[in-house]
Amino acid sequence: MLSKEELVRYNRQIILPNFGLEGQERLKASKVLIIGAGGLGIPNISYLAAAGLGEIGIVEYDEISLTNLQRQVIYSTEDIGKNKVALAKERINQLNPNVKVKVFETTISAANAMEIISGFDLVVDGSDNLPTRYLVNDACVFLDKPLVYAAIFRYEGQVSVFNQLQADGSRGPNYRDLFPTPPPPHMVPSCNEGGVFGALAGIIGAMQANEAIKLLAGLGETLSGRLLIYDSLDFTTRFLNIKKNPNNPISGENPSITELIDYEAFCGMKESQVDNQSMTVHELNQLLNSKNALFLLDVREPYEYEIANLKGYNIPLAELKSRLSELPKSQAIVVHCKSGVRSERAIQMLREAGFTNLKNLKGGILAWQKEIDNSLELY
């Protein structure tokens, strides 16, 4: 039952054709879990809270950094260093005190995903990495929960609805019908490595919120069975049809995955799967302190080098093939970037060019800042 205050607050929604009191009451009775309080999570948090959901859950462990503020617009400069999930809850309470907020200050994992997700009607995935996307998808399939998916990178975004309950009682396609297995880790640079257009996060996140509200209120036709691809540079949209795959390893005719698995290992991101061409920041620190001869190659962009560097030799990844003559072939080369993704690609290029004594710095300059030198500025 809606209070008088709620009837006024949601008036512009209630008077919409096909929405009415029934749609608003359905929203009030709904519980939605949002994975992440970052670029995609923020517009979802804002619009779903404003729309009048009964309960919003937020899973987030991170703190606010300066680089977040370009797209995570509910945070401010004064909030740097504060806990994201606590501040997101505070903002929801300010925006709409009628909404109950449940926070999970943790990383969602195979150990806790089923318990967390089971308490909600629908999941919105605002994560930014492959292991979490596969984990959340699989948990939603096992629990029969619909999932609103999105991803953003540079100037492009994707949105879809997975595992939606169909009129015949079956479930629609899920993430593994679109991507049965992950690509190699070095083929999927994160926003930390490749960048993201700030306004794009708001656009795609709002599209997710739109799909979630439609699902909960029983409105229109969702993106179930379709993947929307949006290019913010030329303002074009494309749609890919998604069909259920009988060979889907989790929901196909003969499922090979019947419980949550180790998703870091599945996506090739376990340290145990990193070959002997890697080096930890502590190993590098020991070598530098012992004055051992090595060539430290920084493959980040010059502006990144100016913000923080380890006094290495800077050749951006895009220029590496044309500047191989600047590198020694008789000396050990340790390659690093911001987090280890670009440096892994650089290692592959150098191997193909005949270089042999190569080491990739695991975790890049982010790991160095965290474990060796906290005075370096994060970006």
Active site residues: 191, 337
Longest CA–CA span in the chain (Å) reads 78
Look up tokens 């396609």; give the residue.
173
Nearest residue to 49 via CA among 99, 120, 122: 99
Which residues, other chains included, contact 270 with Cβ-Cβ below 8 Å and sequence gap of 6+? Answer: 262, 264
Nearest residue to 182 via CA among 129, 140, 223: 129
Tokens of 316: 């951006």
Cβ count within 10 A of residue 250: 20
Name the pairing type of β-strands 156-162 and 147-153: antiparallel
Helix (H) or strand (E) holding 352: helix 341-352
| Paired strand residues for 301 | none
Sheet holding 333-336, edge to edge: 278-279, 358-361, 333-336, 295-298, 313-314
138 in the Ramachandran plot: left (φ > 0), alpha (ψ -120 to 50) or beta? alpha
Q: How far apart are alpha carbons 287 and 276 in whole angstroms? A: 17
